[in-house]
Amino acid sequence: MKTERNRLSIFATLLISGSAAIAANGPTVYPIETRLDQMTAPTAFAATQATPVNGAISENVATSTERILNQEAHFLKKGSVQVIGDDSVSAWEMVSDEGGKGHDQTAPNPLTYFAAGAASDLLTQVERSAQILDLKIDDAKVETKIFFRWSDPFTPTWAGYTDKVIANILIESSESPEKIDELKQMALKAWAIGESLANKTKIDSATVINGNHWVGQEARPGRVGTPISIDHGFKLTDITPDLNLQTVDIEEDLALQMNNLPQSFKFTEIGIAESAHDAQRPYLHKIRAKSLTENYATWELYADDSRGVEGIDKAPSSWDYFTLGTSDCLMSQLTANQMYFQKQGIHIDDFRVEHQFHFQQDNFMTPTMTGRFNDTSDVITRILVKSDSNKEAVTNFAVQSLRCCFAGEGIQNETEMETVLYLNGNVIK
């Protein structure tokens, strides 16, 4: 069944002139998600394996991204992601797309990956907390709504913000409200992504101009063939009908006049994470998410947080999605700013983004489990730019793009967080 896709997005005016022509033998056709033997290693920093301390779960998740040149999909990109030094989980490659004028969205937008990771990670902590407390839970879901904002677009003070995160927990259970509230408090403390959004995080960011960082990683022509990705017979991605959520309001998709953007505007990303009910992968989740922007698609994804369970992981983890979603968000801002700086005579030939996030859960699978970004390791952000323009101009391009990144701002600064607990349809205060 054909579902409505994106025909006009907030980036419709950002059509970048001079896109590379499609290669004579045609563009590469990319699946939206692909399992890799190994990720493309970052080139601007040495990715390192995290060292667990005192029974903690400690993972460095690294990403490396590249542009995909497409005359219709100007925001198309791909990125690889992997936990460094852990051969028990797979590396993954994922494609992302923002859409554009006359162009249907062909892959999830970055903030869909970002929101999917946040919702799935919280659901994992709900499920783990129920196991720790030995509670009988018939069903558990997480509904999210994240508020993003752009201010002063296409000006020297252009910036992006994550203003608020709503993450509601829905439980069906015969357990007492007191026990379910205890579960909620434990899950929120263990929610590493939530902690990273609620609190300030140190960012080690730098811009790397030219240099030996481009062999085999330059932008190349490509496209997405289908919204469906399949791995080992399992459907990882698809477009699905729009969501009906129980605990958050869903407004009309944001429609903007492209030639008359307001000084500041907001849009939201909604999502729901629920168990995939897979006996072999107990923390495998089905996630549906959508940017409430005119004609964006609702995407169905899967996340597998079944750490330590025997057998192959079926999908990227929640932390994979969140990390790569942040990288892709920055890639989108670099694309938008490429045109803005082009109009000022500053030509940017190519760009990439590399990240490393250090997630940690202390006292794993105990009543005092806490999740966080490791406070002794900064988030590493590297923007790699290829350009013959002067260094100051190129640095300004990278800095403004970083400032525009909604996801990065949400991590770097304190974000308003709201969680309401529902037990059998009733609010538990």
pTM listed for this prediction: 0.93
Phi, psi of 190, deg, nearest 5: -85, -5
Which residues does 338 contact at the CB level (< 8 Å), separation at least 6? 16, 348, 351, 397
Q: Return all residues near 133 (Cβ < 8 A) that are at least 6 apart.
A: 179, 182, 183, 186, 367
Extract the tokens encoding 234: 């399992």
**How confident is the model at residue 259, as a pLDDT?**
58
Residues forming a β-bridge with 151: 159, 264
**Cα separation, 86 vs 414, whole angstroms:** 31
The domain locations on the chain are 28-428
Element (H, E) at 188: helix 177-190
- pLDDT per position in the chain (429 positions), as tens? 333 233 223 333 333 322 333 334 578 999 999 999 999 999 999 999 998 887 789 999 999 999 999 988 899 999 999 999 998 999 999 999 986 566 679 999 999 999 999 999 999 999 999 999 999 999 999 999 999 999 999 899 999 999 999 999 999 999 999 999 999 999 999 999 999 999 999 999 999 999 899 999 999 999 999 999 999 999 999 999 999 999 999 999 887 655 567 788 899 999 999 999 999 999 999 999 999 988 789 999 999 999 889 999 999 999 999 999 999 999 999 999 999 999 999 999 999 999 999 999 999 999 999 999 998 888 999 999 999 999 999 999 999 999 999 999 999 999 999 999 999 999 997
Confidence (pLDDT) at 71: 87
Structure confidence at residue 14 (pLDDT): 34
DSSP SS3 for 227: coil
Rounded Cα distance, 176 and 326, in Å:
38
Q: How far apart are CA 237 and CA 289, in angstroms?
A: 11
pLDDT at 25: 59
186 vs 173: CA distance, rounded Å: 17
Residue 5 token pair: 């896709």
| Separation CA 325–CA 405 (nearest Å) | 11
Cβ atoms within 10 A of the Cβ of 205, count? 18
Amino acid 102: pLDDT: 65
Separation between Cα atoms, residue 226 and residue 228, nearest integer Å: 5
Which ranges in 70-133 belong to alpha helices (H)?
A: 110-133
Long-range contacts of range 216-220, CB-CB < 8 Å, 24 or more positions apart?
217/40, 217/43, 217/64, 217/66, 217/352, 218/66, 218/350, 218/386, 219/20, 219/66, 219/67, 219/68, 219/69, 219/350, 220/23, 220/27, 220/28, 220/66, 220/68, 220/69
- For residues 360 and 50, is the Cβ–Cβ distance under 8 A? yes
